[in-house]
Amino acid sequence: MGDYSAVNDNCTLQTHLFEDRVMKMSYVDIGRGCSVDSMSVVLYDSIMEDQSVPEPLSVLMKSETLPAYTVFIGAPANKR
């Protein structure tokens, strides 16, 4: 997690998931100045580049990247 980043109330940074009865684990990479809004989910292997934001109730799918200086919304997250 980078400097000046915020993880808001009731969000989830999920570093593991069971898929087809197999437990898979990895990292979540959050850049500088990011904000994970409330009730959002960020799945493992995803990258939030500097100052990117998934808005409330959004899901950042595994292995996806939010480009720097962008805002995403939805489940799965799409550029706003």
CATH topology of domain 6-75: UDP N-Acetylglucosamine Acyltransferase; domain 1 (2.160.10)
Expressed in angstroms, the distance from the first to the final Cα of the chain is: 23
Query: Would you state the pLDDT for residue 52?
Result: 96
Query: What pLDDT was estimated at residue 78?
Result: 83
Q: Hey, what are 45's tokens?
A: 């292997």
Percent of the chain with pLDDT over 90: 88
Cβ of 15: how many Cβ atoms within 10 Å?
A: 14
Going from the first residue of the chain to its last (80 residues), give the mean pLDDT of each consecutive group of 10, the final group possibly shorter.
94 92 94 95 96 95 94 87
The span from the CA of 29 to the CA of 48, in Å, is 6
Q: Give the predicted TM-score (pTM) of the model.
A: 0.89
Two tokens, residue 48: 């939030």
> pLDDT value at position 70?
95
Spatial distance between the Cα atoms of 63 and 25, rounded to a whole number of angstroms: 12
Q: What percent of the chain has pLDDT over 70?
A: 99
